[in-house]
Each structure stands twice: as structure tokens, then as C-alpha cells.
Structure 1
Amino acid sequence: MAFGFVAFHYPAREHLDEFVREAHKVADAARHQPGFLSVGVWVTPDEDAVVTTGAYESEADFLAASRVGREMGATPDGISDLEIRPREVHFLFSR
């Protein structure tokens, strides 16, 4: 059963491009992790949110990969210096 996530991030407008660049760096690192299936970085049409997505073969693979993300300053909880409100993260299992 695959494990995934969808995360809504709310960077300040003036930090949108920087946040997207950082999200792509984390996405590139994710592509090299065991169990990786997919990753995406999206921006809503109104540019109010950056939506990141990811999928791994298992929850264990995701947890291992998330350690790499944490080392890069990305974390599924909390708020970065670029965000104006806490992110919303939803975890998913394929069925």
C-alpha cells in the first residue's frame, strides 16, 4: 500500500518564488530516496498557496525520506520563516 501526502504551504507573497525554489530542491532530493514514487510542487492560481505532493511505496519509506527533508530545513510540521501561517498537511494511503 503506497503512502503519500498533500501539503498546503502559505508563504508570504514576497517569498513565493524563494519558497518554490526551496520546495524544488527538496523534491529533487526526494527523487533519490528508496521507495520514491512521485513528487510535485504546485502553486494555486491566486498564488496564495504552494501545494506539495509526494508518494512513496510505504510509510516507512516516507519516514526515512522525511529525515533527509528535515536535514534540508523542510518539515511536515511547523512553519518556516517564509510562511505567514502554518501549513496544512494531509497524509494518504492508496487503496
Structure 2
Amino acid sequence: MSFGFVAFHYPAPEHVEEFVGQCHQVAEAARKQPGFLSVGVWVTEDGDAVVTTGAYESEEAFRAAAEVAREMGATPDGLSDLEIKPRRVHFLRSR
């Protein structure tokens, strides 16, 4: 059973491009982790939210990759200094 997430981030309008760039850096690191399946970085049409997605072979693979992301300053909870409100993260399991 695969494990994934979708996260809605709300960077300040003047920081959207910088935030997207940071997301792509984390995505590149994720691609190198064992159990990686996919990653995506999206921006809503109105530009209000950056949406990140990811999928791994297992929750364990995700948790290990999340540690690498934490070392880069990316965490699934809380706020970065570029965000103006808390992100919303949903964890998913394939069925």
C-alpha cells in the first residue's frame, strides 16, 4: 500500500516564487530517496496557495524522506518564514 500526501501552503504573495523554488529543491532531494514514487509542485490559478504532493512505496519510506526534508528546513507542520497562515497537510493511503 502506497503512502502519500497533499499539502496546501499559503506563502505571502511577494514570496510565492521564492517558496516554489524552495519546494522544487525539496522535491529534487525527495526524488533521490528510497521508496520514492512521485512529487509535484503546483500553484492555484489565483496564486493564493502552493500545493505540494508526494507518494512513496510505504509510510516508512515517506518518514525517512521527511527527515531529509526537515534537514532542509521543510516540515509538514508549522509555518515557514514565507507563509502567512498555517499549511494544511493531508496524508493518504492507496487502496
What range describes the TM-score normalised by the shorter chain of this pair? over 0.9
1:68 corresponds to: 68
Asked if 1:22 is matched to 2:37, the reply is no
1:35 corresponds to: 35
Unmatched 5+ residue regions in structure 2?
none
Which residue type is aligned with residue 79 of structure 2? I
CA positional deviation for 1:56? 0.1
1:81 corresponds to: 81
Tell me the TM-score normalized by structure 2: 1.00
**In structure 2, how many angstroms separate the alpha carbons of the residues matched to 1:41 and 1:5?**
12
CA RMSD of aligned residues (A): 0.2
* Aligned positions, number: 95
Which residue type is aligned with residue 89 of structure 2? V
- SS in structure 1 of the partner of residue 63 of structure 2: helix
Percent of residue pairs identical: 77
CA positional deviation for 1:92? 0.1
Residues 16-67 of structure 1: per-residue CA shift (max 9 Å, x gap):
0000000000000000000000000000000000000000000000000000
CA positional deviation for 1:70? 0.1
Which residue type is aligned with residue 79 of structure 1? L
Which residue type is aligned with residue 6 of structure 1? V
